[in-house]
């Protein structure tokens, strides 16, 4: 039976697609049918040119950039293109008020000017299927025993494939909800330097208003470089390091795109859950998503108030604000699209058919009765979990204070002086980083507001002990904002985290009494204790059962209909995937049609002098009005194309992914999805789904004409 099942799984990855342009395919298992379809639609490269372990191939130009984005190598000297928002943290970190690269942009005119960062990139060396080994080790285990044993097996495989001395790291990725296991082996480079970035007004043009929207006019790109030692191997930062010589780099097309053109997107989509149950859809739309959106809305409100007042605060909070805002809008849009297209109803209908098939089959017949019971038990606690993660931990101060819980545990357990000294040294270092990014006025308001919201919106039986009684006794009735504001002010005033003298005294002699008496830690500890005691065990039980039932359900779906199984693809797991589609316009609603490209004309139409989201550098306005587009002008439109859309299937993690034509040439950088299809993590919309990309000619124009960095252009291989 295992042998047959593995055959089915292999067929899944090698099969022909059932829907146009849907699917994030594993590049080493494209199979004849999918590859043939790619060729039919415009691919000119051989399968071995796309992915090969023994020879250099296109996959060698695609990298994991930082902690959660994609990048691509575009020159023989290790030059990287990725999104501006992917490099945002590094750009902000390199900026000061005197040299504000985030605001003003930056381009190194030579390699000596390139700026050290704390980033790393990962090159994929190979992918191997280890399913047989894992399933043999798991036997017939289920539940927590299976989870524990699986972790043990994967750790052993990772260790076997990894080699820290050579910067080789392996990570096994379960796909098809744990029915198949693949090990991905990476080589990690840690000397990454900032080469160039447009001003934030270009790289983030349109701000939050345009986020997830089309038409788009954002120059969402940044430029970095990989450095290596003299042997071209990974090395930590050293001035003597040299630009890495890549196995493959992408040439750049200056021909642009037209409707119907073939487009591949390679990269690292972070995560989808398209085989989610109807119960999961209901929980997302009714509890998880609305709660998260509500909590993030409050955090953004108070951060934005301070950012508008002071450029220094804007610089300090910019990266954090962008991350919070991005998924605030995403989850709001996801909920609306799931409801609009009745994804719950579609899932429920498919599940009814499965249940009819499953009758009399012991392995499958009780899945949905067990699932229903699991969700019934967990749902009353789901909001509390979101409030803890997004609310209580939404305050930067409380999140930092919560990290001191490790010290608390060590002090309680009587750990050795050396162990405690090591922990104290670590938290002292992290405090410095926290203080550099902390804005007390906004965070104090956030703490007050979210503490109040927790009290008002979480079931009273799930509140932390006597915490709110104590607040009421000291500050007054909890029905108004004032007691929470006074409470938050006292926390910020009295915590040792902001008092260097008190902090230094504490780390010189850390005691449990002093830690637990601290105002910020007391707040964090009350909610952590409540969560760990009452909520976390219930979630762990639910999560284990939910995953187990999801695995069995997907296994059953494939057994029920092998023909359908042969048209399935694995969920995204932040592992290398390739999707393919075409450049194309779309009609989001009645009487509305969107073109497939945007141009500089649209930039000028959106431009608002001095506006927080739509301002632009004076030089850019001048160049665009003069139509000084140089070699980057589109010959058909007689304009500078800024962005274009394709039907490719992507998700978070694909930010910075290369959009590549059939010859393997770079057309643009993927950076967003469209609002009308924000349900894509849970359900792909074959009609409305679009990937938003910055045109590579606009990227080059910004570097060359706007930035004056001809040296970067000269390093590229331009195809006309």
SS3 63: strand
Strand partners, 643: 598, 694
* Strands 666-673 and 106-107, bridge-based pairing: unpaired
Residue 61 DSSP code: G
* Distance, CA of 489 to CA of 484 (rounded, Å): 8
* Number of Cβ within a 10 Å radius of residue 158: 16
C-alpha 674/C-alpha 690 separation (Å) is 6
Asked if residues 251 and 317 have their Cβ atoms less than 8 Å apart, the reply is no
Query: From residue 303, how far is each of 209, 309, 389, 421, 524 by CA, in Å?
Result: 16, 10, 18, 35, 21
Tell whether the torsion through CA atoms of 389, 393, 396 and 401 is positive or negative: negative
Spatial separation of the C-alpha atoms in residues 204 and 198, rounded to whole Å: 9
Closest to 357 measured CA to CA, from 365, 369, 349, 347: 365
The label of the residue with tokens 């779309």 reads 586
CA 257 to chain centre: 27
Contact 523, 388 (CB under 8 A): no
Q: Is 174 in contact with 589 (CB distance < 8 Å)?
A: no
Q: What share of the chain is helix, strand, coil (3-state, %, to 5)?
A: 55, 15, 30
The structure tokens listed for 255 are 């021909």
| DSSP β-bridge partners for residue 617 | none
Specify whether the CB–CB gap between 200 and 234 falls below 8 A.
no
**Cis peptide bond upstream of 215, omega within 30:** yes
* Alpha-carbon gap, residue 118 to 519, rounded angstroms: 33
Residue with tokens 């928002």: 85
Count of CB atoms within 10 A of residue 136's CB? Answer: 10
Q: How far apart are CA 287 and CA 379, in angstroms?
A: 8
Contact 713, 700 (CB under 8 A): yes
Length of the chain: 720
Decide the pairing of beta strands 252-253 and 718-719: parallel
**DSSP letter assigned to residue 302:** H
Is the backbone of residue 633 left (phi > 0), alpha (psi -120 to 50) or beta? beta
Angle subtended at Cα 646 by Cα 643 and Cα 651, rounded to the nearest 5 degrees: 95
Active-site residues, by number, are 85, 220, 655
Ramachandran region of residue 267, left (φ > 0), alpha (ψ -120 to 50) or beta? left
Beta carbons within 8 Å of 223's beta carbon, 6+ residues apart? 79, 80, 81, 107, 194, 195, 196, 197, 703, 712
Among 495, 502, 465, CA closest to 401: 495
């Amino acid at each position: 039976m295992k042998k047959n099942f593995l055959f089915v799984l292999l067929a899944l990855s090698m099969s022909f697609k059932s829907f146009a342009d849907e699917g994030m395919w594993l590049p080493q298992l494209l199979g004849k049918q999918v590859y043939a379809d790619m060729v039919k639609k415009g691919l000119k490269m051989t399968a071995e040119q796309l992915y090969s372990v023994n020879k250099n191939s296109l996959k060698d130009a695609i990298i994991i950039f930082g902690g959660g984005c994609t990048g691509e190598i575009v020159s023989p000297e290790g030059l990287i293109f990725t999104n501006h928002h992917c490099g945002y943290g590094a750009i902000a970190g390199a900026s000061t008020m005197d040299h504000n690269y985030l605001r003003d942009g930056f381009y190194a005119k030579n390699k000596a000017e390139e700026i050290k960062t704390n980033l790393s990139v990962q090159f994929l060396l190979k992918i191997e299927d280890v399913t047989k080994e894992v399933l043999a080790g798991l036997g017939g285990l289920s539940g927590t025993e299976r989870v524990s044993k699986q972790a043990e097996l994967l750790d052993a495989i990772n260790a076997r494939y990894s080699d820290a001395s050579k910067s080789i790291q392996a990570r096994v990725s379960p796909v098809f909800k744990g029915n198949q296991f693949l090990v991905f082996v990476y080589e990690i480079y840690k000397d990454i330097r900032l080469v160039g970035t447009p001003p934030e007004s270009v790289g983030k043009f349109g701000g939050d208003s345009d986020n997830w929207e089309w038409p788009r006019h954002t120059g969402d790109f940044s430029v970095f470089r990989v450095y290596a030692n003299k042997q071209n191997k990974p090395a930590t930062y050293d001035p003597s390091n040299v630009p890495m010589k890549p196995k493959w780099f992408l040439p750049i097309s200056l021909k642009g795109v037209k409707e119907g053109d073939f487009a591949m997107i390679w990269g690292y989509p972070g995560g989808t859950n398209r085989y989610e149950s109807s119960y999961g859809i209901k929980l997302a739309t009714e509890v998880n998503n609305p709660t998260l959106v509500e909590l993030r809305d409050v955090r953004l409100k108070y951060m934005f108030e301070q950012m508008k007042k002071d450029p220094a605060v804007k610089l300090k909070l910019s990266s954090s604000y962008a991350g919070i805002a991005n998924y605030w809008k995403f989850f709001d849009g996801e909920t609306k699209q799931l409801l609009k297209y009745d994804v719950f109803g579609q899932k429920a209908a498919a599940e009814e058919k499965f249940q009819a098939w499953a009758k009399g089959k012991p392995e499958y017949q009780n899945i949905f009765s067990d699932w229903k019971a699991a969700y019934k038990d967990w749902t009353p606690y789901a909001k509390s979990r979101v409030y803890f993660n997004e609310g209580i931990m939404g305050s930067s101060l409380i999140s930092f204070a919560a990290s001191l819980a490790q010290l608390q545990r060590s002090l309680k357990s009587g750990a050795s002086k050396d162990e405690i000294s090591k922990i104290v040294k670590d938290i002292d270092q992290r405090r410095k980083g926290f203080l550099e990014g902390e804005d007390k006025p906004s965070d104090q308001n956030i703490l007050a507001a979210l503490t109040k919201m927790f009290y008002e919106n979480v079931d009273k039986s799930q509140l932390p002990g006597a915490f709110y009684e104590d607040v009421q006794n000291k500050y007054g009735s909890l029905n108004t904002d004032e007691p929470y504001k006074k409470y938050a002010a006292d926390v910020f005033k009295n915590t040792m985290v902001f008092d260097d003298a008190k902090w230094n005294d504490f780390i010189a002699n850390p005691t449990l009494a002093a830690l637990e008496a601290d105002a910020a830690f007391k707040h964090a500890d009350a909610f952590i204790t409540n969560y760990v005691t009452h909520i976390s065990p219930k979630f762990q039980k639910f999560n284990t059962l939910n995953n187990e039932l999801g695995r069995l359900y997907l296994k059953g779906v494939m057994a029920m209909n092998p023909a359908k199984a042969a048209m399935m693809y694995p969920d995204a797991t932040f592992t290398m995937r390739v999707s393919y589609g075409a450049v194309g316009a779309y009609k989001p609603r009645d009487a509305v049609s969107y073109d497939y490209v945007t141009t500089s004309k649209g930039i000028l139409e959106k431009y608002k002098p001095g506006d927080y989201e739509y301002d632009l550098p004076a030089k850019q306005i001048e160049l665009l009005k003069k139509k000084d587009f140089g070699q980057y002008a589109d010959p058909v439109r007689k304009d500078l194309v800024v962005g274009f859309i394709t039907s490719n299937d992507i998700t978070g993690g694909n930010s910075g992914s290369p959009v590549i034509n059939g010859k393997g040439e770079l057309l643009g950088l993927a950076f967003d999805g469209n609002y009308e299809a924000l349900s894509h993590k849970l359900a792909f919309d074959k009609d409305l789904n679009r990937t938003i990309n910055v045109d590579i000619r606009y990227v080059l124009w910004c570097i060359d004409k706007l930035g004056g960095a001809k040296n970067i252009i000269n390093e590229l291989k331009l195809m006309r």
